[in-house]
Amino acid sequence: MLTNNLGYPRMGSHRQLKKACEQYWTGAISRQELFLAAKRIQEDNWTLQAAAGIDLIPCNDFSFYDQVLDMSLLLGVIPTRYAPVVTDVKDNTEIDLYFAMARGYQRHGLDITAMEMTKWFDTNYHYIVPEFTHDQSFKLFSNRLFSEFSGAKYVTGKTPKPVLIGPVSYLLLGKEKGSVPFDRIDLIKKLVPVYVEILNKLKDDYRADWIQLDEPFLAMDLTEKQQQAYKYAYAEIKKHCPHVKTLLTTYFEGLQENTELAVSLPVCALHVDLVRAPRQLDDILSSIPPKLSLSLGVVDGRNIWKNDYSQSLSLIRKAIDRLGAERVMIAPSCSLLHTPFDLDLETGLNPVIRNWMAFAKQKLQEVRELAAIVNGNTSLLVANQQAQESRSTSALIHKPAVKERVATITAKDGERNSPFAIRQQVQRQLFQLPLFPTTTIGSFPQTDDIRQLRARLKKGELTQAEYDTAIEQATLEAIRWQEETGLDVLVHGEFERNDMVEYFGEQLDGFVFTKNGWVQSYGSRCVKPPIIVGDVSRPADMTVRWSSFAQAQTTRFMKGMLTGPVTILQWSFVRNDQPRSVTTNQIALAIRDEVVALEKAGISIIQVDEPAIREGLPLRKKDWGAYLQWAVRAFRISVSGVKDETQIHTHMCYSEFNDIIEHIAAMDADVITIETSRSQMELLEAFAHFKYPNEIGPGVYDIHSPRVPSVAEMVSLLEKAATLLPARNVWVNPDCGLKTRKWPETKTALENMVKAAAIARAEVEKKIVA
């Protein structure tokens, strides 16, 4: 029985790669220094995996930016717009071309846009989308794969396992470009020969043994044509690389109806995710052909919990009974890229709680220990069982009152007192807002000064009172400025918040935080998700202090500002000992209490942000309905505790709404603000088509760039919105929060926005009079 690892985090234990890349980009370090930093991380990773006793150690899982972009370079899929980069500076090399594709290139009068980035399946990792043209050609372009192989072999003294994205998934991850319409899957015939060349080179020139081909799309919904592409590609590879030992990996979902297809492909081993889909093992075992080996992904590569050995062992033993140990491998469920590096660095965690967790390094140990237990070392079971028991019974995290409250939620808890039409009347009476009311999404620029305050408070250089006074001052200035500018509904600016999830997690019971639990989000960017460890409850008010302070400074309406339950769930590491829906409901009740507390404190407009609703969608379409039902319900529970006259807003960005519009409508927020400016209001069409009944603020200001939109531009966006929706339902606001912007551009843009609203308002009023 072999132990297998699919991939390892590549940032380094202390985010060394982030630092090295960012320094290289600013010119602070040389290319040699960048490569040296990368080499050190790779060597550490390989040494660590060898020491952990992993048999199949991956190589080429390292990346300077993104593994899909690495594939594009390996296969020579380089959009023509990057051609000038190579010759622009005499010593520009492959890495500069690579970073230009990732980040764009602006030098010497060249201004070449970066390639598009999108989410890697249902993770928070973003990959660079390959661009294909109808006449796309492929050729072996980059040699980094081969030098990594040699490096890993040298360091570990073992034959490493090169990792590649398989040909079908690589095509499916990309996008068609150019004016000639075509289907990128048809490129498979041109693509496969290059894979054949690479695999044979690895085998013949480098003496590779196992080669891993990642085909996560095998666990997704596939069309007939895509299934055919799988059959074709792997038959060709088998035919032209008869001696290569191929390991086909799938993850993030079960194979389901693709089981027969997957097990029939002529590869040597198949890896399946038994954390997401443990029940698929039975189907696979009953249809697996003789000789195909099975890699069992039993250790969770997506979360931070200690493995439950007895559960994993029952799966492993079942597979061994059917296949024999020589055809079974033990592995994490997917690449460990999605877990933080090393739990040993978390000295600040309560040791009882820490003992329930495992990060990447500990997960390798778990794989090794599972193999050892199967081979007879059952003593290893004891400590694991104790940890599981401690977690399932601990009073630190199990709060009967919280569980009881969730269990007794009724349909009524998810319903406002009156339907929207009535609420709208009541609210119009009360607020007396003009047509096209203007507002913003919540945050104002988080300047260095503001961040410094927080850092100094943490270090003890500021007292809490000094910090609060400084934040009050920033809030007050933002309020005065909004009044002067003429915004209708104000925000306090969120200066007191580090992050929209962390801020709430820190004040709720049931969360813990790490010091070094970084996970790559994209390129050099990492996030440090909070960990939901136990039953969630709200020991005290969270935002009332700041919202009341802000409301007291102005006679205009001040929006209360909260993060919604689904977004808090989605951007945290979540419990694996209860359904996600239950955890979300616990958070929803906590947010509900905060909404009610804000209302009591005199805040009459309250926004509950849910930007992550869409990204929580399951990978298989047939599972969407069930998810949307509990997600929408959780949102409704969080906002339905208030009177009709309290206006509930929600905000969502990065969203396409076409296929989920009825569920967005079911959220029944009085006002929803969305991102629409970059698509020129295209996203609004879904709302128009659906005849969305409630009020909407389609973003008219793209906050993702420092560019200041003109008055005329925003007027025309508003005119367009008013043709799609009843004008009296339309709000005027930016696409998203302004946290990442600088003050000067923010001020001009919002001044323009207020002017644009006034012009659009006058136009509509003129029409009404006429």
Give catalytic residue positions: 704
Q: Which does 443 bind (CB under 5 to 8 A by kind): ligand GLN, Zn ion, none?
A: ligand GLN
Select from ligand GLN, Zn ion, none the partner in contact with residue 340, using the beta carbon and a kind-dependent cut-off of 5 to 8 Å: none
Dig out the tokens for 386 from the structure: 């104790």
Are 247 and 202 in contact by the 8 Å Cβ rule? The answer is: no
Binding partner of 561, given ligand GLN, Zn ion, none, CB within 5-8 angstroms per partner class: ligand GLN
Q: How far is the CB of 3 from ligand GLN (least distance, A)?
A: 40
Query: What, of ligand GLN, Zn ion, none, does residue 490 touch, CB below 5 to 8 Å by kind?
Result: none
Could you tell me how many helices (H) and strands (E) the chain has, helices first? 28, 24
Q: Of 217, 213, 235, 239, give the one whose Cα is nearest residue 226.
A: 217
In the list 296, 632, 653, 674, the residue contacting ligand GLN (rule: CB under 6 A) is 653
Q: Does 653 bind Zn ion (CB under 5 A)?
A: yes
Question: Residue 41 corresponds to which tokens in the numbers above?
Answer: 């991380």
- Give 654-709 as a DSSP string: S---GGGHHHHHHH--SEEEE--TTTTTTTHHHHHHHT--SEEEEB-S-TTSSPPP
Choice from 441, 519, 639, 648 touching ligand GLN (CB under 6 A): 441
**Interaction between residue 739 and ligand GLN (CB under 6 A):** yes
Q: How far is the CB of 551 from ligand GLN (least distance, A)?
A: 17
- Ordered DSSP codes for 144-187: HHHHHHHHHHHHHSS--EEEEE-HHHHHHHSEE-SSS---GGGG
Residue 561 interacts with ligand GLN (CB under 6 A)? yes
Beta strands of 89-136 (E only): which ranges?
105-107, 110-112, 117-119, 126-128, 131-132
* Residues 587-626: x where in contact with Zn ion by CB under 5 A, - otherwise, as a string: ------------------------x---------------
Pair 439, 697: CB distance under 8 Å: yes
Query: How many other β-carbons are positioned within 10 Å of the β-carbon of residue 25?
Result: 14
* Least distance (Å) between residue 442 CB and ligand GLN: 3
- Side-chain-side CA neighbours of residue 596 (13 Å): 14
Q: Among Zn ion, ligand GLN, none, what binds residue 442 when CB lies within 5 to 8 Å by partner kind? A: ligand GLN
- Site string (204-243) toward ligand GLN, x via CB under 6 A: ----------------------------------------
- The secondary structure of the chain in percent helix, strand, coil, rounded to multiples of 5, reads 50, 15, 35
Pick 95 or 732: Cβ nearer ligand GLN? 732
- Give the shortest CB-497-to-ligand GLN separation in angstroms: 8
Considering the complex, what minimum distance in angstroms separates the CB of residue 653 from ligand GLN? 5
Distances (CA, A) of 755 to 348, 493, 565, 733: 51, 21, 35, 12
Distances (CA, A) of 664 to 403, 440, 609, 750: 28, 20, 13, 27
The residue count for the chain = 770
Q: Are 635 and 667 in contact (CB under 8 A)?
A: yes
Q: Which of 718, 736, 753, 764 binds ligand GLN (CB under 6 A)?
A: 736
Which of 180, 144, 184 has the alpha carbon at shortest distance from 167? 184
Residue 509 vs residues 413, 449, 538, 547: alpha-carbon distances, Å: 22, 30, 6, 21
Q: How far is the CB of 656 from ligand GLN (least distance, A)?
A: 16
Residue 529 found at the interface with ligand GLN (CB under 6 A): no
* Binding footprint of ligand GLN, residue count (CB under 6 A): 13
CA 381 to CA 736: how far, in whole Å? Answer: 50
CB atoms near residue 313 (< 10 Å) = 19
Q: How far is the CB of 753 from Zn ion (least distance, A)?
A: 16
Measured CA to CA, the distance from residue 193 to residue 723 in angstroms comes to 52
Q: Which is nearer to ligand GLN, 271 or 739 (CB)?
A: 739
Q: How many residues lie near Zn ion (CB under 5 A)?
A: 3
**Helix 188-204 and helix 144-156, axial crossing angle in degrees, nearest 10:** 30
Using the contact rule CB under 5 A, the part of the chain among 149-157, 624-632, 653-661, 685-693 near Zn ion is: 653-661
Min CB(608)–ligand GLN separation in Å: 10
Give the residue closest to ligand GLN by C-beta. 737
The least CB distance from residue 651 to ligand GLN, in Å, is: 5
What's the closest the beta carbon of residue 653 comes to Zn ion, in angstroms?
Answer: 3
DSSP element (H, E) containing 247: strand 245-249
Does position 651 bind ligand GLN by CB under 6 A? yes
558 binds, among Zn ion, ligand GLN, none (CB under 5 to 8 A by kind): none
Of residues 340 and 734, the one with the C-beta less far from Zn ion: 734
Check residue 442 for interaction with ligand GLN (CB under 6 A).
Answer: yes
Q: How far apart, in whole angstroms, are the C-alpha atoms of residue 312 and residue 300?
A: 10
611: contact with ligand GLN by CB under 6 A = yes
At closest approach, how far in Å is the CB of 528 from ligand GLN? 16
* Residue among 327 and 497 whose Cβ is closer to ligand GLN: 497
Which residue lies nearer to Zn ion by CB, 78 or 653?
A: 653
Binding segment for ligand GLN among 4-12, 246-254, 436-444, 515-523 (CB under 6 A)? Answer: 436-444
* Residue given tokens 């003009």 in the structure block: 434
Compare residues 329 and 508 and give the one whose CB is closer to ligand GLN. 508
Q: Among 196-204, 437-445, 677-685, 743-751, which window interacts with ligand GLN (CB under 6 A)?
A: 437-445
Query: What is the pattern of x (binds ligand GLN, CB under 6 A) and - over residues 481-500?
Result: -------------x-----x
* 743, 481 Cβ separation under 8 angstroms: no
Q: Which two tokens stand for residue 42?
A: 């790779």
| Cβ closest to Zn ion, residue 54 vs residue 653 | 653
- Residue 443 contacts ligand GLN per CB under 6 A: yes
Contact 162, 212 (CB under 8 A): yes
| 155 is an interface residue for ligand GLN by CB under 6 A | no
CA distance to 97, 111, 128, 604, 619, per residue, from 114 (Å): 11, 10, 9, 43, 27
Regarding beta strands 531-537 and 509-512, do their DSSP bridges make them parallel or antiparallel, or are they unpaired?
Answer: antiparallel
Span from 297-305, 382-390, 441-449, 756-764 in contact with ligand GLN (CB under 6 A): 441-449
Cβ at position 672, least distance to ligand GLN in Å: 12
| DSSP track, 264-328 | HSS-SEEEEETTT-TTHHHHHHHHPPTT-EEEEEEE-SSS-BPP-HHHHHHHHHHHHHHH-GGGE
**Looking at 21, 41, 316, 736, which residue binds Zn ion (CB under 5 A)?**
736
Task: Report what 698 binds from Zn ion, ligand GLN, none; CB cut-off 5-8 Å by kind.
Answer: none
Q: Please say which residue, 341 or 444, places its beta carbon nearer to ligand GLN.
A: 444
683 counts as binding ligand GLN under rule CB under 6 A: no
d(CA 613, CA 592): 17
Binding positions for Zn ion, rule: CB under 5 A: 611, 653, 736
Binding site for ligand GLN (CB under 6 A): 441-443, 494, 500, 561, 609, 611, 651, 653, 736-737, 739
